[in-house]
Structure 1
Amino acid sequence: MTTARHLEIIDLLRARDFPPECGPSDVGSQGPGFHIAELNGHFGDGASADADREAEAEQRLAEQEGLLRGLTERWGEPDTFSLAGTRLRVERDEEVPEPWRRLGQQMGWLHLWRVDQRWIGVGLSAFQLLAVVTETDPP
């Protein structure tokens, strides 16, 4: 998928209303106050050769870098938000609102912009490039 398509998906999610219930969407998942897009799908099946996994990781990183450049041109430099504390709170069974609970379990860092009363974030999980649009403030 191209950077232009990633940007289109983020724009689409920014314009959508949030659903009343959690569930799948045409680009990932959604719920009250959030949309999460899986921008490049799942890579590998766990049985790939080391070289294949390395190439896939490099591809995800390149896609993220292109998307970050495009979003930075639009909205300026992002904040970099560590999800380590969120993950720790989840592990302690503390209350963490969605989508932060889910994101904290999937990735370590998120690049965040605050645009038109919504947070837009981009980050890498182990297998995917993800984008989030949410009205819920980070914990």
Structure 2
Amino acid sequence: MDIVKFLTAVEALCAGEFPEAGHRTVELATSHGTRADDAQIRERTAADFHAYREALAQRLHDRWGRQHPWGQQTVRLRVARGEEIPEPWATLSLLTDELDVWEPPGTGRWIALGVADRDDTDEIRLLATVTVTPPP
């Protein structure tokens, strides 16, 4: 995995235009063939993707300041209770257990970085999201 490539993608998200929905999520990396077939391979792959997220997050901490990761369990509980959680945060809470989130100075945008590995029947994905909607 190429951290420089990931940084370039995040920078493009910060500078790009928004779709009508007011947010955009991109897959920075996707596993291939690590669905529920082999639990050990899936576990190692998930660990690798979390390490990539941490390495990228460190670079973004250096740029925008250190932030504590946002656990998603509370947001999932709020969704389950019927509370209206704005997108993309509601969907991200269902895909990820934890997000790194920044508000880059002067952009009016929020950047979130997480690993979508909650669904054993789906590929593991390193996700980056940009939105104008603050986290709930």
**Counterpart position of 1:90:** 79
**Counterpart position of 1:2:** 2
**Counterpart position of 1:109:** 98
Q: Which runs of 4+ in 1 moved over 6 A?
A: none
Alpha carbons of structure 1 residues 58 and 79: separation in structure 2 relative to 1, 3 Å = closer
Q: Which runs of 5+ in 2 are unaligned?
A: 118-123
1:13-52 CA deviation, whole Å, 9 max, x = no partner?
11111111xxxxxxxxxxx1111121111441221x3332
**Counterpart position of 1:28:** none
For residues 1-139 of structure 1, the aligned pairs below 5 Å read 1-20=1-20, 32-43=21-32, 44-47=34-37, 49-115=38-104, 116-126=107-117, 127-139=124-136
Contact 2:27 2:126 in 1 (8 A): yes
How far off is 1:109 after superposition?
A: 1.5
Contact 1:79 1:113 in 2 (8 A): no
Deviates more, 1:11-20 or 1:36-45: 36-45
Q: Which has the higher contact order (CA 8 A, sep 6+)?
A: 2
| Local SS of the residue matching 1:79 | coil
Match of 2:80, as an amino acid? E
Match of 1:121, as an amino acid? A
Deviates more, 1:10-19 or 1:85-94: 85-94
Q: TM-score, normalised by structure 1?
A: 0.82
